[in-house]
Structure 1
Amino acid sequence: MRHRKIFCLKRPFLLAALLAALLAAICMLSLINGGLKVGWNPTSISLGRYTRLDYEYDDSPEKLSNCSAILWGEREALEQAKLLTVSKDFRKRIRVPDQFYVNASKDCRKFKSSRKYLTFPLSQEEEDFPLAYAMVVHHKVQNFERLLRAIYAPQNVYCIHVDLKASPSFLAAVSAVVSCFPNVFLAGRRERVVYAGWSRVQADLNCMAELLTTGVAWRYFINLCGQDFPLKTNLEMVRALQALNGANSMESEKIPKEKRWRVERVHHEVDGHIQALGTAKESPPFQLPIMSGNAYILVTRGFVRSVLEDQRILALIDWAKDTYSPDEFLWATIQRMPGVPGSTWASSKYDLSDVNALAKLVKWQWHEGEQSSTDAVYPPCQGIHIRGICVYGSGDLQWLVKQRHLFANKFDTDEEAVAIYCLEKYLRQRVLAQLQEVNVWYSTFM
């Protein structure tokens, strides 16, 4: 006993580290245990003219599918999840009205605690590498709030652009959630976003400009929409972005012939729709080679500053405003411009497809197929398709978590609730494992 006492007295730092590790583990276990409930608890709240039950989560209401078994691809678990997903009663019970978020966030401390938001940086590595997000949303508050919770960290900064055509109840709910976080804010300038129109790009530009003025020395910019969800923890994202060593990651390829009309013809907006004028468009400024890509990018702070200040890019932006779906070529073209931070050469040798870019994984219906097919890019969708895009189901999760992308699209709590709940639980468990790893290292070397 005497020797053990002397050891403890001589190693106060080791004792403190062990206690810190224990407290952190207890904290994270609390996050995990409270993090996945589907259903209504016995506490009711007033929602205008009617009353509904408060929304929380429960690991196994109605024998909610075994997430671990789903991630292992076990057939019985997947079949149970599918039956639950198509149940009208289940869908009705998990749907959360907009007014809930307005009421729940009146007490921000309780809201963040009950929803298990991470309110402290989980490692020095993450604290030293803050990220900036732009989120363009217009409906489905539940999707938005779950996405925010999944990517939230206090060292990051988040700009939320709410579409001008969003309902008043949606705007009120998002505003209420945002008000609880000092590093989350609504975009000061909002756009009425038109599909395939310039307004989609302008929404991101608005957030880019505001994010640069926040005072947070963020390293990378990530843009999202409300039906995205992460495939990696914040620490895993930080390490993936550090590995880029100052490069950007996005789709950027030679524009295919079938898409050239988008930049060769003039278009204009009519009552919220895009209509071709049929007139030939002038050549791009500086004879820039127009590339093909998509709206979602992972780019450095320097890239964002260049987008807002570089005269060549400003000329390209002005030229692109009357084209069709400019978000699908603008960023990809800037990425190949000489001198832009994080960019690559314009040579086709540097082309990068969406499958290989880190930004976001999307399953397009016409690229799906069995692995034996030479034309298939990815396996068949296990959820449903909306406008040719897979809304991921539980059966997609085993494949999704093996991908290198940081995010995937689409997820929908109305259509495939179990998939998003199980992915959320998977990420929380990885956060816990990482925290334990960090504390073991800390205890070893203190």
Structure 2
Amino acid sequence: MKGLYRCKRYFYLLPFLFISTLTLMMGTGPGCFETSLMVRRMLLDQNLNNTCKLLKCRSEEDCKNIKEENQLRFQKLQSDILSNRCYSILSRVKHGTPEELEVPLSFSILAHRDFQQLFNLLEAVYRPHNLYCIQLDSKSDAAFVKQVSLLVQCLSEVHNNIFISKKSISLIWQHSSLLEGDLLALQQLLEFPHNWQYYVNIVGSEFVLISNSELVRKLKTVRNNIGFVDIQFPHSQVQDRWKYSYELTKGAESGKADTTLFGSYYKNVPRVTSSLKSLPPKNLTIMYGIKNVAISRKFADYVINDELSKELRVWLKDVLVAVEHFYPTLATVFIKNINYNSNINNNNSTENLKQIPFQDFSFNKDLVEFQMRKTFWLNSDHYCYGQIRREICVLSLLDLPAILQEKGFVMNKFDSDLDPSVVTCLNEMIYGLDKEA
């Protein structure tokens, strides 16, 4: 019945879909104006009044002109960054609301390609009072690294609250390097002289669903000492991730192994071995959840400096998708008399080792009151209008109505090579403006 309801709900789209199918058979996709009309109709059906400049176009030519203007605007910004003309970048910086200033945040951003998408994400979340660390992939091409470095340099000239991680590592999909990238950034954020209260981890291919001020408002409702961490008990298929050790193919970390169109970040994934894994440290119950978190400074300090956290970090190095297990598992752990201060002294750390850790699952519901990331998977109810890559929908403008129904901090996944207009529209809808260069 649920499927039948969806069919009836979008029955009016059949003419559009029929035309789209014909155009696809002829080797082209639906036109710009046609796509805009489809999105507007879907938004009306969902009683959503959200709009952006592109959705107001009145003809194919008008639509194409708007898209071209948006692209030329970014190219101008890109040129300014490469020429070290920082004024145009600094003039676009959003300043925090009084509510945001009460809860300063720190962000880590993992990135390996697509400067346009990274720029859009950073522009959305960047505020002068927060702190930011960008963790780059050591395999990223030189042009991408140069653009990121110059952008950071521009922002740092005035605000001194953003930096590139001191250590560049090889980031590989499903590998523990993604967890290491997060933790390398987090450690530097903890060491930086700044009064941030919560740590947020995101990646360059994501984009926000809500503003920073809305996130801060939600963080103010936190009733635990941790924040927002997705926690689930792992099902049997997930538990297979730590039955045997996983290892990388030869040359994967250097990027010398086989690559795909999107680079060795995706191609050289960890492969299962015949070596059985040891039991988790202190026989912990390994938990499972999405990688994105918003965690308090106290908990952030714990995951970096506590001895049990260090043991778990090492144990997860040969576990598939380690980043989905580290934060959720540690969030359930409570050790009596742990010192949560930033300067944990060696005596206390040694004493902590004598304590027997246990896990408390009674507050899991509090930790998942707000989801930090949303994704449309291949097996979800949502029809992907963009492209399916590795079972994830890479989003396009036609996915916008479904995106706006999601409740979370960021949405995954976007690619400016596929369709930059969906992020442009989201940005205008969230911040209620059409930014000019």
Structure 2-normalised TM-score? 0.71
The CA deviation at 1:357 is 4.2
Alignment of 1:248-263 (within 5 A): 248-263=227-242
Whether 2:206 is the aligned partner of 1:228: answer: yes
Identity %: 23
| Aligned residue identity for 1:262 | R
Alignment of 1:235-274 (within 5 A): 235-245=213-223, 246-270=225-249, 271-272=251-252, 273=268, 274=270
**Aligned equivalents of 1:264 and 1:154: distance in 2?**
45
Whether 2:84 is the aligned partner of 1:94: answer: no
**Aligned equivalents of 1:394 and 1:81: distance in 2?**
17
Residue in structure 1 matching 2:195, options 182, 193, 217? 217
Q: 1:103 to 1:237 in 2, by over 3 A?
A: closer
> Which residue number in structure 2 is paired with residue 158 of structure 1?
132
**Aligned equivalents of 1:386 and 1:73: distance in 2?**
29
Deviation larger for 102-111 or 385-394: 102-111
Q: CA RMSD in A?
A: 3.8
Alignment of 1:138-157 (within 5 A): 138-157=112-131
**Aligned equivalents of 2:214 and 2:44: distance in 1?**
23
Q: 1:310 to 1:425 in 2, by over 3 A?
A: same
> Which residue number in structure 2 is paired with residue 315 of structure 1?
311
1:79-129 CA-to-partner distances (Å, cap 9, x unmatched) read 989989x98x9689938679935745612123322xx222x3332x21121
Q: 1:293 to 1:101 in 2, by over 3 A?
A: farther
Q: 1:277 to 1:361 in 2, by over 3 A?
A: same
**Aligned equivalents of 1:64 and 1:107: distance in 2?**
36
Is the CA contact (8 Å cut-off) linking 2:109 and 2:202 kept in structure 1? yes
Q: 1:350 to 1:313 in 2, by over 3 A?
A: same
The CA deviation at 1:333 is 0.9
Whether 2:115 is the aligned partner of 1:122: answer: no
| Aligned residue identity for 1:364 | W
**Aligned equivalents of 1:394 and 1:353: distance in 2?**
32
Is the CA contact (8 Å cut-off) linking 1:383 and 1:392 kept in structure 2? yes
Alignment of 1:159-174 (within 5 A): 159-174=133-148
| Aligned residue identity for 1:350 | N
| Aligned residue identity for 2:110 | V
Is the CA contact (8 Å cut-off) linking 2:226 and 2:298 kept in structure 1? no
**Aligned equivalents of 1:161 and 1:81: distance in 2?**
42
Residue in structure 1 matching 2:372, options 334, 339, 359? 359
**Aligned equivalents of 2:359 and 2:114: distance in 1?**
40
| Aligned residue identity for 2:403 | L
**Aligned equivalents of 1:410 and 1:166: distance in 2?**
19
Is the CA contact (8 Å cut-off) linking 2:39 and 2:55 kept in structure 1? no
Number of residue equivalences: 355
Is the CA contact (8 Å cut-off) linking 2:81 and 2:151 kept in structure 1? no
Is the CA contact (8 Å cut-off) linking 1:198 and 1:327 kept in structure 2? yes
Alignment of 1:333-348 (within 5 A): 333-339=329-335, 346-347=360-361
Structure 2: segments with no counterpart, 5+ residues? 1-31, 253-267, 341-357
Q: 1:167 to 1:280 in 2, by over 3 A?
A: same
Q: 1:294 to 1:171 in 2, by over 3 A?
A: same
Is the CA contact (8 Å cut-off) linking 1:98 and 1:141 kept in structure 2? no
Q: 1:403 to 1:212 in 2, by over 3 A?
A: same
**Aligned equivalents of 1:414 and 1:92: distance in 2?**
16
The CA deviation at 1:347 is 3.4
Structure 1: segments with no counterpart, 5+ residues? 1-60, 369-378, 433-446
The CA deviation at 1:401 is 3.0
Q: 1:67 to 1:205 in 2, by over 3 A?
A: farther
**Aligned equivalents of 1:205 and 1:244: distance in 2?**
23
**Aligned equivalents of 2:280 and 2:386: distance in 1?**
41
The CA deviation at 1:67 is 12
Alignment of 1:17-32 (within 5 A): none
**Aligned equivalents of 1:143 and 1:98: distance in 2?**
15
The CA deviation at 1:149 is 0.4
Q: 1:67 to 1:317 in 2, by over 3 A?
A: same
Is the CA contact (8 Å cut-off) linking 2:378 and 2:391 kept in structure 1? yes
| Aligned residue identity for 1:396 | D
The CA deviation at 1:384 is 2.7
Is the CA contact (8 Å cut-off) linking 2:228 and 2:367 kept in structure 1? no
What SS is found at the alignment partner of 1:253? coil
**Aligned equivalents of 1:81 and 1:260: distance in 2?**
53
What SS is found at the alignment partner of 1:403? coil
**Aligned equivalents of 1:129 and 1:176: distance in 2?**
28
Q: 1:277 to 1:91 in 2, by over 3 A?
A: farther
**Aligned equivalents of 1:390 and 1:79: distance in 2?**
26
**Aligned equivalents of 2:188 and 2:89: distance in 1?**
26
Structure 1-normalised TM-score? 0.70
Deviation larger for 177-186 or 72-81: 72-81
1:295-346 CA-to-partner distances (Å, cap 9, x unmatched) read 22111111110011111111111111122221121221111112488xx964
